[in-house]
Structure 1
């Protein structure tokens, strides 16, 4: 049988394009910073700012999903961003610490404890909107391996939190003199 050389235009690609996963990974990683819309505590888990919007049709999913991914603060988000790898989440946390000057954590969450509700891949939303090709290199990197969880991540799903960066805008941590010089 005759085989085409791998450089021939009609030969199949050496690597097949990756297909969307059929299940979400068991562990995902939330990059959380103090100024995020999502509320968090170790004892209660994560809560999206907007827990009342029902996303039951494609245009609402697109509108809220794209607004979330573009960090538009004029629309409160029903989504919580998480990443599929710890190393990428840690790199994003370091980036956010430098960009926003806030304490930033990577929180591991076990998806087996997620409440009912949809989880979306950022890449699927961006591709559907045709924005995937229009993203800057920074935004492509930011959304790599990102998932969007609806409404909340319960406390029992939280496995651990790791501080990654300390914010620079915390003036209360400054060293100074307590009291003042005593007048004589």
Structure 2
């Protein structure tokens, strides 16, 4: 029922020009959407209103728009490269993917005892028991390379969050805006 409702909303948003599935003419790209004419206007209005309310409307908050690609050193220093990954498994029957630790936690919550392995767990989607692949570490960090050669010297990461740009620019923002803590930095 909730799935039908969501499909109806997505269908309406597509028909009215709010969003389109990205790369749709080539089969699409899962979980990726492009904003249509009405969608981009709505998105910009929300951003503009948020900025006006949270940054422009307050004397204790300044704005920042940091780069979406940051050097590997930033992400290594923050611990993201080492820890921003999860064990991912796939049901071999229905091909749905899950975080293995979430499956184990759900099993323990339901049965009041820990599962010794994934072979004891039913797939939430199809119900088959123990039909999971060996978990593999899935990185939440998206790698890219800057420059013509794909080697370690050009390795960078797309930011998985906006906070890191605020942290690395904090001293410069504080100096140039002539603010002293406590103050806020707003970024979209």
Higher helix proportion, which one?
2
Point out which structure has higher relative CO (alpha carbons under 8 A, 6+ apart): 1
TM-score greater than 0.5 by the shorter chain = no
State the TM-score, normalized to the length of structure 1: 0.18
